[in-house]
Amino acid sequence: MRFTDGTYDLAQNILHLWFPQRVVLTDAATVEEFFREVTHEWIDRCPTPPYVLVNYENLHILPAATQHYAASIAGFQARIIGTFRYAVSPDLTGVAVSMGNLTISRPANVFASEAEARAAIAAHKRRPQP
């Protein structure tokens, strides 16, 4: 079973991912399988490090998977510009996203809507880069 679906917009350098069916990350094994797909099927196929735009509507992270989620997102940070999330559930999933990003000292970039997340990407692109 595939976890993700998505598109890559070369002109905007935005990798947009979503979850067509309910995905529940329950433990280390499901987190590892999930991020193997995200990394190998999506991130690694982008020609340059992309902005990652993610619709979290159908993604749920259980308490037992929180630490593994944080460790997994750390593994691909050098291959992306940043992750911009929207429709994050206010349950533990939102807490896991925040904690995971705190662990790797990266902003969680959580927005209510796709439009807000895309606006944040546009603002990031306008900032002077080091």
Set out the domains of the chain in order of their start, with CATH numbers. 5-126 (3.30.750.24)
pTM for this predicted structure:
0.87
**Separation of alpha carbons 24 and 93, rounded Å:** 10
Tens of pLDDT, residue by residue over 31-64, are 999 999 999 999 999 999 999 999 999 999 888 8
At 65 the pLDDT is 87
At residue 95 the predicted structure's pLDDT band, cuts being 50, 70 and 90, is low
* Cβ-based neighbours of 49, under 8 Å, separated by 6 or more: 78, 79, 80, 81
3-state SS assignment for residue 16:
strand
